[in-house]
Structure 1
Amino acid sequence: MQRQLTLDLGTPPPATFDNFFAASNHELVTRLRELEGALAAGPVADRTFYVWGEPGSGRSHLLQALVHEATGRARFLSPQSALTAFGFDPRVTLYAIDDCDDLSGAQQIALFNLFNEVRAHPTSALVATGSAAPMGLSVREDLRTRLGWGLVFHLTALTDEGKASVLKHAARERGIALADDLPNYLLTHFRRDMPSLMALLDELDRFSLEQKRAVTLTLLRDMTRTGPAPASAGRITGDEEPPPVPDAPDTPHDEPTDLFGDPLSIESVSASPEMGSPRASTRFK
């Protein structure tokens, strides 16, 4: 198996709803975005959520976005949180609990009690995440039952095809003439999570402007191996050299296919927030 390369691209931006790509998760994203406002407007029937999905699907991103964009008091909890942090506070509007299936036994009991308190206070809400549907969670039976009481959403991760479409759409928004073969190459040889891919696209954009060259595999090779880009452009870690990149001209080939006319439209992967159409500095956690 070919070893994937990583780039040191600095600290990623905060997780927000705008830099999350909703794909087929529009209803969930919309509900979470509107949750705090709905609580402020009056009684809300659905105030407890359980979101499950595979690693990399964006569970943590959504919880962090919920807390980051809250105008009132919100609390993010995880297996690394102190047991006392699971105590109910009537001043807290939103509770976001990540990886609840990795909580310790004591934390699970505390979450069970917190869940009951939230249900009893109509001005608060709770959103929890895990790696499996409630019935498949390795947690206490009473907690599993509580998690299944509210709204349950399966968070669907982007496919490789979807990731490639997002990269192409983001490139078009930046005015980048992205070589057709570049997205698949990035997915094959670099970290595959969307925050890393979008950060790499940003660096390619900057480097191409500095070099006044098209964004091609050759440019990527120069940026990661020998290019004169500053340290912010990222460096390859590990002992291996980057995989060979075929020498290609820095200008697009004269072919019938328009570099921007990719048949995979972004609407097939992101039609709402994520939410909304991706913006110029989009990331995905």
Structure 2
Amino acid sequence: MTQQLLLDILPEALPSLERFVAGANRAAVDAVSALSPGRAVYLWGSVGTGRSHLLRASAHAQQGLYLDARTPAHWLQALATDEDRALTLVAVDDVNNLGEEAQAALFALFNRWRASASTPDAFALLTAGDRAPLTMPLREDLRTRLGWDLVFRIQQLSDEERAQALRDQALQRGLKLPDEVLHWILVHHDRDMGRLMALMDRLDQYSLVHHRPITLPLLKELLTHHP
């Protein structure tokens, strides 16, 4: 089996709440982790703060559904109207990009969520966007519903928090991460923690496949051949 094939078949790590670096967002992460049927959370923050990671991880953990602005509106409408379909958790990402039909469907889903909140059919609702609810470019009644329960702003991690997160990740994997490699990643690579963690996964795999320690030349070689 070639090295390329080995790299291709190594699975990517699924988003998980445990892998999310909370930093100043501990209250938000705890709320998402404890999200139960009948409760809702809205997360907002700029691109790269980890909103999508939290939604995907929560949906995976609770065997729920993850949707975003690319999901056909009629799928969202079906969730809102098919009361015979049991729901555990519905996560709707990038609500700021929803079209008119999808906005109407999410409005209906919020109404179903609220009506079922104190019944055996209750489910959790997790939504996210790029700004606070009342400043969203959405229909007025939907903006109001986004703030019906818990709302948290997700903040970017500091450079120090990013560095410590990468050190912790390396330690958990038993990797020796030289300071020059860490510095290069923080200066030259994406600031999104999800992508940084994915890079650590790939670097670990590349090092194992090639039987070479992690060095700056190895990292640059990985990014050249597998950008």
Corresponding residue of 2:57: 65
- Does 1:155 find its partner at 2:154? yes
Q: Within 5 A, what are the aligned runs for 1:63-102?
A: 63-71=55-63, 74-87=64-77, 88=80, 89-90=82-83, 91-102=86-97
Corresponding residue of 1:12: 12
- Supply the distance in 2 between the matched residues of 1:81 and 1:14 (Cα, whole angstroms): 20
Match of 1:76, as an amino acid?
A: Y
Shift of 1:210: 6.5
Structure 1 residue runs of 5 or longer lacking an equivalent are 1-8, 226-234, 238-285
Corresponding residue of 2:3: none
The one of the two structures with greater contact order (alpha-carbon pairs below 8 A, sep at least 6) is 1
Q: Would you say how many aligned residue pairs link Structure 1 and Structure 2?
A: 210
Q: Within 5 A, what are the aligned runs for 1:195-206?
A: 195-206=194-205
Shift of 1:165: 1.4
Q: Within 5 A, what are the aligned runs for 1:162-173?
A: 162-173=161-172
Q: Within 5 A, what are the aligned runs for 1:1-285?
A: 12-36=12-36, 39=37, 47-71=39-63, 74-87=64-77, 88=80, 89-90=82-83, 91-122=86-117, 123-208=122-207, 214-221=213-220, 235-237=225-227
Shift of 1:92: 1.2
TM-score in terms of structure 2 length: 0.80
- Supply the distance in 1 between the matched residues of 2:12 and 2:213 (Cα, whole angstroms): 25
Q: Residue 35 of structure 1 aligns to a residue in which SS? A: coil
Shift of 1:19: 2.0
Match of 1:156, as an amino acid?
A: Q
Q: Do the aligned partners of residues 207 and 127 (structure 1) sit closer, same or farther apart at CA in structure 2, a change above 3 Å counting? A: closer
Name the one with the larger helix percent: 2
Which protein has the larger Cα radius of gyration, Structure 1 or Structure 2?
A: 1
TM-score in terms of structure 1 length: 0.65
Q: Do the aligned partners of residues 202 and 84 (structure 1) sit closer, same or farther apart at CA in structure 2, a change above 3 Å counting? A: closer
- Supply the distance in 1 between the matched residues of 2:190 and 2:131 (Cα, whole angstroms): 24
Q: Residue 62 of structure 2 aligns to a residue in which SS? A: coil
* Identity among equivalent pairs (%): 40
Q: Residue 196 of structure 2 aligns to a residue in which SS? A: helix
Kindly report structure 1 stretches of 4+ aligned residues shifted beyond 6 Å.
Answer: none
